[in-house]
A and B are shown apart, each in its own frame.
Chain A
Amino acid sequence: MSDAVTRPLRPARNWALIIGAVTAVTLMTWWSGRGIRFSLTELACNLPGGRRLLVESWPPEFSFFPRLLAPLLETLQIAVVGTVIGGILAVPVAVLAARNLTPGFLVWFVDRNFMNILRTLPDLFWAMLFAAAVGFGPIAGALALTVFTVAVISKLWSESLEAIDMGVPEAVRASGGSWLQMLQFGAIPQALPHYVSYALYAFELNVRASMILGLVGAGGIGMVLETQRSTFEYPRVTLIVLSVLVIVLIIEQVSESIRRRLI
């Protein structure tokens, strides 16, 4: 054997697909780059002012902290109310959207699409809508988080419900149980740990979201953030951002440790 080394065959490549994908991504990126109007001159004009602001925003103005306590508490209250109401409302939405439990195709179809539409709008859009409907304040925030919670829990939990063992629900039905008894004794107990886990996850998301709801007037610490931001009080903005981060991280740690034990 001189230089005739037999190499394994290279796997065939679908060049048309690769070239097509690369071209599409490149074009989309080029188009988007133009779309966001990135310009170096503008960046250069803004940077000096931006640097001054960044320098100013450290250290945070700690003496402002006592005035944050009440709004921070209100923020957590909004998150609790939104999670509890949303968590309860999510149960029927999830059950009707689970293919194996739903009483009929039409109900399933309508509910599934309702769920998908709920999920398309971001949390702050709901907050703006409710602020317009019921006025600025924490109630608007709690309602927005209610909708957001329903969207999150029902989507995740309906998938867990679809994965349960159908033997028990069928046994309940076979022994003469009604549809509701089938849910109560056969289906829901199996997926209950998942429900609790998703509810805690939704609470984490809600605490995070409730911190910014105030930017559109829906109560909580975000409203303080908005006034300080629009008057360029960045030392205070930094303090608010830091306290938000600390609370979010604490809640996440606690909730995650509970969730790990559940499943």
Chain B
Amino acid sequence: MTPGTTLQPPAGIGWATRVTLVIAFTFLICAWAIDLTPAALANLPRQMAMVLSFFYPADMDYGWSRVLPALLESIHIAWIGTIIGAAISLPLALLGARTLFPRIARLVKLISATARAFPEILLAIYFVPIVGLGAFAGALAIGISSVGMLTKLGAEVVESIDMGPVEAVQAAGGSRLLALRYAVVPQVLPEIVAHWLFRFELNIRASAVLGVVGAGGVGGVLLNTLRYRHFEKAAAVLLLTIVVVLIIDMMSGAIRRRLLR
């Protein structure tokens, strides 16, 4: 190699370029299929600006009197759902740990995968006619899908623990139950509670949506205000939702950071 030449990566079409081309081609076909033409795209900013101008000023009277109670209901739904999820998932997480219960673990993981596969709103579609319109159906739907995720995350936490204390308890004559109580639970609890809090943050967003199928909360209010084109009222819904969710995220995030320290 003479001085002055530089090493270049080999030229030619690599697999990354090919994948990009395939994605670009698929995208164009899909965009064409749903009528997202360049003209429609160019028209978008104007349309959005027009509709957004209707959102101002937000009707805060409506916000305080109607939206805030609905938001509160969403928080209640999320909380009860999280409590249901936490209570059922704690024993399941222990049973689902490969390291502790090798035989049951597989079954438990199958159950949790099934529970996770259903979006909350599809569960709510079944719960609403069974237990009646309203927040209770929403809480059940959120609870069940929380069980799925919390069991999976919890089992992973349990699998990652130091097995020393478990063996120590059993070597000292403790039963399996005692080993769980004194060697496993103290090690995993902070991290598992942090997962509960994180799930609570997700559940707030999920419960906000459930009103769409009549399962209580703020989603139904937003759907109605937009359906009847009361954009100032919809603005109040959005504004209050953003503020409340931000506050809850911050509080829950602060507690989680302290738990994991």
A138 contacts the other chain (CB 8 A) = yes
Chain B binder among A60-68, A104-112, A169-177, A212-220? A212-220
Q: Which residue of B lies closest to A35 (CB)?
A: B76
Identify which of B26, B216, B226 contacts A132 (C-beta below 8 A): B226
Chain B CB within 10 Å, residue with most, of A31, A42, A139: A139
Q: Contact residue range for chain A?
A: 35 or more
Decide yes or no: A47 and B27 within 8 Å by CB, A78-B34, A116-B246, A134-B47 being known contacts.
no
Question: Quick check: B72 and A35 within 8 Å, CB to CB?
Answer: yes
- A-B pairs, top 4 by smallest CB distance, nearest first, are A50-B130, A35-B76, A36-B135, A32-B76
B residues whose Cβ falls under 8 Å from a Cβ of A:
23, 26-27, 30-31, 33-36, 40, 44, 47-48, 51-52, 72-73, 75-77, 79-80, 83, 117-119, 121-122, 125-126, 129-132, 134-136, 138-139, 205-206, 208-209, 212-213, 216, 219, 222-223, 226, 229, 231, 234, 238, 241-242, 245-246, 249
- Interface on chain B toward A: helix, strand, loop, or mixed SS? helix
Complexed CA–CA distance, A54 and B231 (Å): 38
Chain B binder among A93-101, A123-131, A159-167? A123-131
A249 contacts the other chain (CB 8 A) = yes
A80 contacts the other chain (CB 8 A) = yes
Q: Which residue of A lies closest to B113 (CB)?
A: A249
Identify which of B35, B121, B205, B222 contacts A139 (C-beta below 8 A): B35
Decide yes or no: A121 and B241 within 8 Å by CB, A29-B83, A36-B135, A134-B47 being known contacts.
yes
Complexed CA–CA distance, A73 and B30 (Å): 9
Q: Which residue of B lies closest to A53 (CB)?
A: B129
- Interface on chain A toward B: helix, strand, loop, or mixed SS? helix
- Tell me, rounded to whole Å, the shortest Cβ–Cβ distance linking A124 to chain B: 4
- Tell me, rounded to whole Å, the shortest Cβ–Cβ distance linking A19 to chain B: 16
**How many residue-residue contacts, CB under 8 A, span A and B?**
163
Q: A216: which B residues are within 8 A, CB to CB? A: 212, 223
A90 contacts the other chain (CB 8 A) = no
- Tell me, rounded to whole Å, the shortest Cβ–Cβ distance linking B50 to chain A: 8
Q: A29: which B residues are within 8 A, CB to CB? A: 79-80, 83
Question: Quick check: B131 and A125 within 8 Å, CB to CB?
Answer: no
Q: A123: which B residues are within 8 A, CB to CB? A: 209
Q: Can you pick out 14 interface pairs between chain A and chain B where the beta carbons lie within 8 Å of each other?
A: A28-B79, A31-B76, A36-B136, A38-B136, A42-B132, A43-B136, A74-B34, A81-B34, A117-B242, A120-B245, A125-B222, A139-B40, A211-B119, A241-B122
